[in-house]
Amino acid sequence: MTDAVNEIPVSELRAHLADVLNEATYSGTRTFITRAGKRIAAVVPADDADLLEEAEDTYLMQLADQAEAGQGNTPHKPLSQVLAEYAEEFGEEAA
């Protein structure tokens, strides 16, 4: 896999979409789509997107584990109780 990176304006993407997709699939090239010179999206190889999803899932699980560890022995409240406490505190009706 290559670390090649391309940029293409959104106005030219339709005419070159097959080429952009083939480059991502067969040579691992990442192509950034630009508008007014700013990157707005990217076409990346599917393997890269899969790795990004895995990394994101791992990160979110770590955050959840940290939050749970920080909870300690604090009991969990049902949503209905949280909403009732909010309504009481702010003088609104509970949902």
- Could you read off the pLDDT of 10-27 as tens digits, one per residue? 999 999 999 999 999 999
Written as one letter, the residue type at 20 is V
What does the pLDDT read at residue 86?
Answer: 82
* Position 2 pLDDT exceeds 70: no
pLDDT at residue 6 is higher than 90? yes
- What is the domain partition of the chain in residue ranges? 1-44, 46-95
Query: What CATH number does domain 1-44 carry, 3.40.50, 1.10.150, 3.40.1620, 1.25.40?
Result: 3.40.1620
Smallest CA-to-CA distance from 34 within 4, 3, 12, 5 is with: 12
Q: Tell me the per-residue pLDDT of 41-95, one tens digit each, with 9 for 90 and over.
A: 999 999 999 999 999 999 999 988 888 787 767 777 888 888 888 888 887 665 5
Q: What is the pLDDT of residue 77?
A: 80
pLDDT of residue 84: 87
User: What pLDDT score does 95 carry?
Assistant: 52
